Chains A and B, each alone.
Chain A
Amino acid sequence: MTVESTAARKPRRSAGTKSTAGKTTARKSPSTDPELVQLLTPEGKRVKNAEYDKYVAGITPEELRGLYRDMVLTRRFDAEATSLQRQGELGLWASLLGQEAAQIGSGRATREDDYVFPTYREHGVAWCRGVDPTNLLGMFRGVNNGGWDPNSNNFQLYTIVIGSQTLHATGYAMGVAKDGADSAVIAYFGDGASSQGDVAESFTFSAVYNAPVVFFCQNNQWAISEPTEKQTRVPLYQRAQGYGFPGVRVDGNDVLACLAVTKWALERARAGEGPTLVEAYTYRMGAHTTSDDPTRYRGDEERQAWEAKDPILRLRAYLEASNHANDGFFAELETESEALGKRVREAVRAMPDPDHFAIFENVYADGHALVDEERAQFAAYQASFATESDSGSAAVSGGH
């Protein structure tokens, strides 16, 4: 290396250090971020917001109690699923603990004819769409790879390859626009997926075609063990600007704010104003999945700080302070919650293993000669076991 090149590198390096020092690189507390849309403080106080108040202006006490009920039941379901994994009934579970407000707020903002493209953690959104929670458990138990009809509730199957679904959502939205329909599409993804090329491409396509899609990013601060700083140098919502559509950061633990901002974004889509990026700033209070051990990469203090901003406690404080819910409501919900846990537990335990021949089902819509051939070979192989114990003729006929 020449002396010149070494000398030339020096000022650049120090300039870089200086500019980094000038920026706030530490994780921001959402409540200190002026860009963060918040309608309920962590203490449950309603704060005014000139831009977004109108999207929740007409909300009734009953609807508020409904949001609370959704969050409580979703959390109860989630806890039951975690227990079922610990009991060996599920192979894996991806808990949504802490993200209830982001999911219920955005999920309740959708209309029946809107279409939802989830990741694998959107249990609260599935709840809002009317997907029976027990259906979500099939893939985690290992009896199927997605147990519901996406078109019954306009809720696509869970997507495990993170980011892929944002392109499907964009294509679907392009189709909605071609059909002249006034519905909208919402794509869920996380801070980790924001690094995927597919997410970048979905931003490009949706912007270019002005597709009626909302990108709802739950920034839960962690992509398994990697903090958001390992994914981005700018707040995620700001990425939208480079693509030519608006991006908003909302307090992801504030169900009211999530509802309002998502309604706004969906209405933009329906009005033909194109895509929006919503970054719901939240926290994954549990592990990435039941296979994960967060103690290896993060401390308790962080979790405690976020527990103080719990989405459910916050709405409860507001409901109580504004006399929108009484003790009877909370007691009744407790009973309902336990009943849901019981129902889920029993449903999972009763879930039968699939038939062996399910391997060969639905590989193709129009059939495939090789699948037929291998199914027949498999049948003959299975039947060969029966031949040993049963009478030969019965086994042969059983194999066909």
Chain B
Amino acid sequence: MAEKMALAKAINESLRRALDTDPKVLVMGEDVGKLGGVFRVTDGLQKDFGESRVIDTPLAESGIVGTAIGLALRGYRPVVEIQFDGFVFPAYDQIVTQLAKMHARSLGKVKLPVVVRIPYGGGIGAVEHHSESPESLFAHVAGLKVVSPSNASDAYWMMQQAIQSDDPVIFFEPKRRYWDKAEVNTEAIPGPLHKARVVREGTDLTLAAYGPMVKLCQEVADAAAEEGRNLEVLDLRSVSPIDFDSIQASVEKTRRLVVVHEAPVFFGSGAEIAARITERCFYHLEAPVLRVGGYHAPYPPARLEEEYLPGLDRVLDAVDRALAY
């Protein structure tokens, strides 16, 4: 059944389906029950599935992830919500030292099918700690998988796949796109979770992005088209693993690559992509791989975030620079 729905609603529907089909699936987090989450992503789930499966937790992120690990060891598949990106750090220890490593530590004997949902990114005029993009801090950790959908359809299906995964998945939700609507076909057969998707075919340069920046890159491609530039847009969808094969295939065609993310450029996912693609496509590249992202500064107050975040003009500027080589 295809239906147009907002990205937040798509995740809600996906969680509902998972709760409905697998009695081991649990939803837990701060305010996810009665309130339905501060973004209403879990709206109505507790009412329909009960307090035992949709659990309002104490306000303690390490406790949320730590108990989710215990529940997973007992055979459950918890989907936990961290209310905002900047609040994940009390749980960072549990995620890095326990969740990521326990499968390896047990020589494969135990599995940790835990999904950690994190609304992330800026652009909504929020206060401090509510607009960050910490995906690289998780992608750097072996044992974790990191994904971020850019649209409602992917949000629905990637959540299904993340819950079915026997590995811990950090699921970054682009909060500024929560209200963007798109067609969601709940009977489609989805592609692999960690495979990139060509959003728009082009010949002159590849724009690679994920999560909230995919829409921006499409706008950039539209604007560039008016100037006669034919840009390809790749939605990476997954930050760990990264689908380097798809990026390579695109770059071998376009010979130029600009990576766009909200996270700071320094040690960001764009740095890893630039290094790997340079290695793989050295003789195809006409220009160095360029990156557009946040600055090496704390996420600024809301009145400054438009200057900090990659916008249409900053990405176009990078496109111009890459094409000038």
Q: Do A and B bind each other?
A: yes
Residue positions of A touching B, CB distance < 8 A: 144-147, 149-151, 156-157, 159, 161, 164, 166-176, 178-179, 197-198, 201-202, 204-205, 208, 361-366, 368-371
- Give chain B residues whose Cβ lies under 8 Å from the Cβ of A364: 103, 143, 145, 167
A-B contact pairs, 15 of them (CB 8 A): A146-B106, A146-B107, A161-B98, A167-B66, A168-B66, A170-B67, A171-B74, A172-B73, A197-B90, A198-B63, A201-B58, A361-B104, A363-B142, A364-B103, A365-B108
Q: Which residues between 94 and 111 of chain B lie within 8 Å of chain A, taking CB atoms?
A: 94, 97-98, 101-111
Asked if residues A171 and B102 are in contact (CB atoms below 8 Å), the reply is no
State the CA gap A179–B53 with chains docked (Å): 12
Asked if residues B74 and A172 are in contact (CB atoms below 8 Å), the reply is yes
The total number of A-B Cβ pairs within 8 Å is: 140
State the CA gap A360–B93 with chains docked (Å): 23
State the CA gap A170–B66 with chains docked (Å): 8
- Give chain B residues whose Cβ lies under 8 Å from the Cβ of A361: 104, 107-108
Residue positions of B touching A, CB distance < 8 A: 52, 57-58, 60, 62-63, 65-76, 90, 93-94, 97-98, 101-112, 142-143, 145, 165-167, 194, 240-244
State the CA gap A366–B58 with chains docked (Å): 32
Partner of A198, one of B71, B94, B111, B112: B94
Nearest residue in A to B194 (C-beta to C-beta)?
A369
Partner of B60, one of A201, A365, A366: A201
Smallest distance from the beta carbon of A87 to chain B beta carbons, Å?
26
State the CA gap A167–B240 with chains docked (Å): 27
- Give chain B residues whose Cβ lies under 8 Å from the Cβ of A164: 66, 93-94, 97-98
Asked if residues A198 and B62 are in contact (CB atoms below 8 Å), the reply is yes
Nearest residue in B to A158 (C-beta to C-beta)?
B105
Asked if residues A145 and B104 are in contact (CB atoms below 8 Å), the reply is yes
State the CA gap A253–B96 with chains docked (Å): 36
- Give chain B residues whose Cβ lies under 8 Å from the Cβ of A174: 67, 70-71, 74
- Give chain B residues whose Cβ lies under 8 Å from the Cβ of A198: 62-63, 66, 93-94
Asked if residues A368 and B166 are in contact (CB atoms below 8 Å), the reply is no
Q: Which of A171, A363, A368 has the most chain B CB atoms closer than 10 A to its own CB?
A: A171
State the CA gap A371–B52 with chains docked (Å): 37
- Give chain A residues whose Cβ lies under 8 Å from the Cβ of B165: 365-366
Asked if residues B98 and A365 are in contact (CB atoms below 8 Å), the reply is no
Smallest distance from the beta carbon of B42 to chain A beta carbons, Å?
18
Partner of A167, one of B67, B241, B244: B67
Smallest distance from the beta carbon of B283 to chain A beta carbons, Å?
20
